[in-house]
Amino acid sequence: MEISELKDHARNIRINILKEVANAKSGHPGGSLGAADLITELFFEVMDLNVDNASSKDRDRFVLSKGHTSPMLYAALAEKGIIPEEELMTFRRLNSRLQGHPNMNYVPGVDMSTGSLGQGLAAADGMAIANKLAGNDHRIYVLCGDGECEEGEIWEAAMAAAHYKSDNLCAIIDVNGLQIDGRTQDVIGPEPLDVKFEAFGWHVVNIDGHDFNQMRVAFKEASETKGRPTAIIAHTIKGKGVSFMENEAGWHGKAPNAEQLAAALKELEAE
């Protein structure tokens, strides 16, 4: 796929993220906007997920460990045609399938119900082990946040994945340097994440999480790495694409009002 096409998909995903959160008057736009390029690369170039196999286990699978960025996941599923785009406007409504954290029991293409931070990597590791035992060659991808890496379960799962030589597992660590309470380095400070994952026995690649060429190279390298899992340390900008949201921790979990939504959409549509 041409880079321009990927950028178009990412822009559409960002537009729908904002519409979802604004319509619901709640949600998490900052991290969703920041990781939109990563999920675009995964869904449109790396994974074999499509509308026909979305409810099947016999395909590559994706775990959104930072489940509060569900607006991004739903927008990506709509962009792939797996769920109707108009359904995005039911985000967080009573009886909607699209709640604040994704539920695998109701939404096709959602491979794990997530929300409690730190659990997604362990679940993905279990999927990777299960695929190995079943002789299933499909790969498992999991997106974690840098603030989430303050959770102890992340490192238990990292240790287990290396122990079981889960080379069919790829973790993408979304490093934007911010979490709900401010800068990660001021809260607990999980850095240096690359050195830590290497120490736990992982193959590590550092990339700019908004550069599609770097993403292509990193995911190819991950698929070719044998005997150990891969961690892609993706440096991103929280709120990417909307100037007044970028690098602002206050937009972690705040919905834009009508005026802010109009300004944000104008920026994105002008790209």
Residues 6+ apart with CB under 8 A from 185: 177, 191
- pLDDT tens-digit profile of 158-181? 999 999 999 999 999 999 999 999
**Residue 81 Rama label (left phi>0; alpha psi -120 to 50; beta):** left
- pLDDT tens-digit profile of 99-128? 999 999 999 999 999 999 999 999 999 999
pLDDT band at residue 23 using 50, 70 and 90 as cut-offs? very high
- Beta strands 203-208 and 230-235 are parallel
Question: What are the residues facing 235 on neighbouring strands?
Answer: 175, 208
Cα distance between residue 3 and residue 55, in whole Å: 28
pLDDT of residue 220: 98
For residue 271, pLDDT over 90 is answered with: no
For residue 57, pLDDT over 90 is answered with: no
> Tokens in use for 207?
């990339």
What pTM value is reported for the model?
Answer: 0.97
Task: Choose among 65, 61, 236, 62: nearest CA to 157.
Answer: 65
**Residue 201 Rama label (left phi>0; alpha psi -120 to 50; beta):** left
For residue 66, pLDDT over 90 is answered with: yes
Question: What are the residues facing 178 on neighbouring strands?
Answer: 183
